[in-house]
Amino acid sequence: MLEVLPDQGCANPLRSIVKAAIYARVSTTANQSVEMQLRDLRELAARRGFEIVGEYCDEGISGAKDSRPGLNRLLADAEAGKFPVILVWKLDRLGRSLVHLVRLMEDFRRLGIELVSFSEGLDFTTTTGKLLFQIISAFAEFERDCIRERVLGGMRNAKAKGKRIGRPPRTYLSEETRKAMALAYRQGQGSLRQLAVRYGTSAATVRRCVGSLQRISTEAAASA
């Protein structure tokens, strides 16, 4: 738990002030506002004796968004060491998924920052909160493994059906174009990169076409 240490040089000890940041988010501004969250979190900070050094808000932004301006500023200031505590109204206001939430909490722990959630009554500065974090991390790891297994299973199923796995080619090239591109390279009419630009493809594709033509020529010579 974060300790508030007395000033040993005073007859009447003064409690040191712990700096805290507030993060609030609502998905839509139609019928919601961050004001309710901010009011509750300000009261929580007052009860705990925290000094609020920053309020970071995202209004009308879905939690599923990869980039949120308020959260981005919070993370930047966290990296800068501006506060040791972050107050949130609810954990789902912070993370877009269990895995994302755990990743954020691991980053906070690396920076020496503790998290307090108002609605759930969760205080990760306490021993019980630290134990709960371990449990949440285990569930997040389980979720990651399940997602990984589903992806690998889908890829195996697609391969079994003869489907192509991976990114589709940037452009479609006919067999005639592939041969012409490979011959142009062999005749010194341009580098891989130059031919890629000329034919609107990638240098790797040109290289594959050259290799394919070489194999065909070798096989034809061997069978002659």
- For this structure, is 191 an active site residue? no
Which tops the pLDDT comparison, 52 or 184? Answer: 52
Per-residue model confidence as pLDDT tens digits over 75-128: 999 999 999 999 999 888 887 777 788 788 888 888 888 888 888 777 776 666
Catalytic residue among 16, 27, 117, 174: 27
Which tops the pLDDT comparison, 6 or 185? Answer: 185
Q: How far is CA 151 from CA 98, 115, 155, in A?
A: 18, 32, 6
Q: Give strand pairing partners of 87.
A: 22, 116
DSSP 8-state code for residue 153: H
Per-residue model confidence as pLDDT tens digits over 29-38: 667 788 999 9
Q: Is pLDDT of 72 > 80?
A: yes
- The whole-number pLDDT of residue 1 equals 46
Q: Which CATH superfamily is domain 18-140 in?
A: Resolvase, N-terminal catalytic domain (3.40.50.1390)
Per-residue model confidence as pLDDT tens digits over 147-202: 677 777 777 777 777 776 665 555 667 888 888 888 888 888 888 888 888 888 88
